[in-house]
Amino acid sequence: MPFPSLGLAPALSQAATGAGYLAPTEIQGAAIPAILRGQDVLGLAQTGSGKTAAFSLPLLQRWAEAPRHRSRRTVHTLVLVPTRELAAQVGETLRILGQHLHERPKIAVVFGGVSVNPQMMALRGGADIVVATPGRLIDLLDHNALKIGNVSALVLDEADRLLDLGFAEELQRILALLPAQRQNLFFSATFVPAVEALAAQLLNDPLRIEVEATEATVPDIAQRAIEVDTSRRTQLLRHLVQDQKWTRVLAFVATKHAAEIVADKLRKAGIEAEPFHGMLSQGKRTQVVADFKASRVQVVVATDLAARGIDIAQLPVVVNFDLPRSVTDYVHRIGRTGRAGESGLAVSFVPASSEAHFRLIEKRQGLSVPRERIVGFEPVEVAMAASTTPLTAPGAQSPNGGIKGKRPSKKDKLREAAARAAAGKP
């Protein structure tokens, strides 16, 4: 089904085609007509499904068709996203898709971590569409830099992540300032109870669209799990990059410090690698993404928060150098590869201490990933009391990939001592 048959104006269909979208994805086919009608939408879709264009195209059209006072611009559409990278990307998508409209909307993208002044300047005279992270939006509202009392459409993008990142309170403050009459579009990759409650609070008789992760829109992501000792992961990563001739790799680590260290070690081994985390300036982060896209950087070593919004059309390999804390993070991480019809590979390093955690990730996804060993990197570590340490929350993983949150109890220690005695070890 081509774009125009969804009810989109020629200027928007033309922009979609110009962006390389030949036919609507599943979520676009379902969401665009409903959004054009003014209906609320609940989209359960992974990143990579085309959800950004699914809300951008019809909202641009609704903006273009809305009567407005040109002299006093009011925010027509407010898009809330969890991270600055995603904000920048959504803003860019809106700009590209709206470029052929007779009158172009004024789009403001605002996020934290950079000076507030240029953003306040950009908002002078108002904006038609604002894409914002919740914290910075509140700062700007507190400074009277914009008013959201007349918003016609609200989008919560990656709602699960907004809640994961602790934005619940900010969201409630923002919602309280919005008019009761508005269209609400809610997108989330997962639908845990907190997300469900927020959706129920916001949405009014929504069209529910669920895009299965197994559909062609989130294609072919092959998952591999390699058993390796914690201390040998950097060498293994280096070996795989060279041996498998991986040209572009996004490797996830647990901390900013680890991102720096691993990138540094790879660089010393002759691989163009850069860290990517929240302590870097926005300018540096933008540069790293640009270098990665232009193939000047081969490996980006990133933390979850920073990598959330990276959208690289061709990202063949994602490596879980440290396993993610939660299953949600795992889904988001591997969703960075295999986007828009490409096939992708997600490789997880599984030291013995992370085996139980990885099993939980497999269980929650309802799949089983065979364990592999790479010649020359066979692990020698064994999990400390792996059979007796109960698994706590999925968020309880230590930076080195182990499980924290439960120290061995006295009983555990006695059991270990007994096991050692039985094995004749001191």
What is the binding site for ligand AMP (CB under 6 A)? 21-22, 24-25, 28, 47-53, 311, 313, 339-340
Q: Is the dihedral of CA 127, 132, 134, 140 positive or negative?
A: negative
Structure tokens at 423: 């094995």
Nearest to ligand AMP of 49, 188 (CB atom): 49
Nearest to ligand AMP of 29, 113 (CB atom): 29
- Name the minimum Å distance from CB 186 to ligand AMP: 15
The amino acid at residue 204 is N
Ramachandran region of residue 338, left (φ > 0), alpha (ψ -120 to 50) or beta? left
- Name the minimum Å distance from CB 261 to ligand AMP: 30
- Name the minimum Å distance from CB 28 to ligand AMP: 6
Nearest to ligand AMP of 85, 311 (CB atom): 311
The distance of Cα 247 from the centroid of its chain, to the nearest Å, equals 22
Contacts of 236 (CB under 8 A, 6+ apart): 226, 228, 349, 374, 377
Return the closest-CA partner of residue 59 out of 149, 159, 138, 128. 128
Nearest to ligand AMP of 53, 137 (CB atom): 53
Nearest to ligand AMP of 342, 416 (CB atom): 342
Question: What DSSP string runs through 123-170?
Answer: TTT--SEEEE-HHHHHHHHHTTS---TT-SEEEE-SHHHHHHTT-HHH
- Name the minimum Å distance from CB 92 to ligand AMP: 10
Return the closest-CA partner of residue 230 out of 100, 397, 105, 73. 397
84-97 and 10-18 helices, crossing angle to 10°: 120
- Name the minimum Å distance from CB 312 to ligand AMP: 8
- Name the minimum Å distance from CB 217 to ligand AMP: 8
Q: Which residues pair with 372 in a beta bridge?
A: 226
- Name the minimum Å distance from CB 238 to ligand AMP: 29
Nearest to ligand AMP of 8, 240 (CB atom): 8
Nearest to ligand AMP of 314, 409 (CB atom): 314
Nearest to ligand AMP of 216, 414 (CB atom): 216
The amino acid at residue 261 is I
Rounded CA-CA distance 41/8 in Å is 17
Ramachandran region of residue 377, left (φ > 0), alpha (ψ -120 to 50) or beta? alpha
- Name the minimum Å distance from CB 299 to ligand AMP: 21
The amino acid at residue 167 is F
Q: Which residues pair with 344 in a beta bridge?
A: 221
Contact 51, 186 (CB under 8 A): no
